[in-house]
């Protein structure tokens, strides 16, 4: 009888250990472009300020992620921001010093060749350094949604700075994750809809 119970006991202890070591954070900063927070765009039928094209604030990836993390960190604070010049990857001085212990960077969709890919990579790496500021922060770097030329560039910058890289390629490649499949924002159909936003949040959680 005792021998047959041992595997079950071990499984319970393993699950408890996992809960005890789940990531716990005090503050999460998400720095991004329109996928993170988008001002109203009447031409697209968009009149909100959360991540384009979620149907509600709580459905974008930022707030889904925040909600999931609060299960382990009930007091987790959330800050959402951007940088001034996304094409040149500059203009983050207002984010320094960074007091968040979890930083998620989602920037890439507004790159239009203002600087070379090598310069973009180096600027990304510098941003990670300055946001980390010598403290043991968790830095998560999302790959591009559509701007695929930046996938290896951002991945290299993240790897060089020991940051977590989360690719969105599989999520983007599934049409069910696009707003077009949901029909709420047809003019923003190539952006992530609710399913896409949920998938992005799950991918980040899995990487932490």
How far apart are alpha carbons 153 and 158 in whole angstroms? 9
Report the C-alpha gap between 142 and 31 in whole angstroms: 10
For residue 47, cis peptide bond before it (omega within 30 degrees of 0):
no
Q: What is the pLDDT of residues 93-118, one digit of tens each?
A: 999 999 999 999 999 999 999 999 99
Which among 129, 135, 197, 133 is positioned nearest to 163, based on CA atoms?
129
pLDDT higher than threshold 80 for residue 204: yes
Please give the domain boundaries of the chain with CATH numbers for all domains: 26-38+53-207 (3.40.50.1110)
Tens-place pLDDT, residues 68-87:
999 999 999 999 999 989 98
Q: What is the pTM of this model?
A: 0.88
pLDDT at 7: 46
- CA-based radius of gyration for the chain: 19
Nearest to 154 by CA among 104, 191, 203: 104
Q: How far is residue 184's CA from residue 198's CA, in Å, rounded to a whole number? A: 16
The residues, ordered by sequence, that sit 6+ positions from 25 with a Cβ below 8 Å of its Cβ are 69, 73, 76, 100, 101, 102, 138
């Amino acid at each position: 009888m005792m021998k047959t119970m041992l595997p079950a006991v071990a499984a319970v202890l393993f699950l408890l250990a996992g809960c005890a070591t789940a990531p716990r954070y005090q503050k999460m900063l998400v720095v991004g472009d329109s996928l993170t927070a988008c001002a109203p765009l009447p031409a697209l039928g968009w009149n909100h300020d959360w991540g384009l094209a979620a149907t509600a604030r709580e459905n974008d990836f930022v707030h889904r992620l925040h909600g999931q993390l609060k299960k382990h960190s009930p007091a987790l604070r959330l800050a959402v921001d951007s940088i001034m010049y996304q094409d040149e990857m500059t203009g983050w001085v207002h984010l320094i010093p960074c007091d968040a212990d979890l930083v998620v960077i989602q920037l890439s969709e507004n790159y239009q060749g203002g600087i070379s890919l090598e310069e973009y990579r180096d600027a990304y790496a510098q941003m990670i350094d300055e946001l980390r500021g010598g403290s043991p922060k968790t830095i998560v770097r999302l790959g591009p949604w559509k701007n695929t030329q930046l996938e290896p560039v951002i991945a290299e910058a993240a790897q060089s700075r020991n940051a977590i890289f989360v690719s969105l390629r599989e999520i983007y490649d599934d049409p069910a994750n696009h707003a077009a499949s949901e029909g709420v924002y047809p003019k923003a159909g190539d952006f992530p809809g609710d399913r896409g936003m949920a998938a992005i949040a799950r991918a980040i959680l899995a990487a932490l």
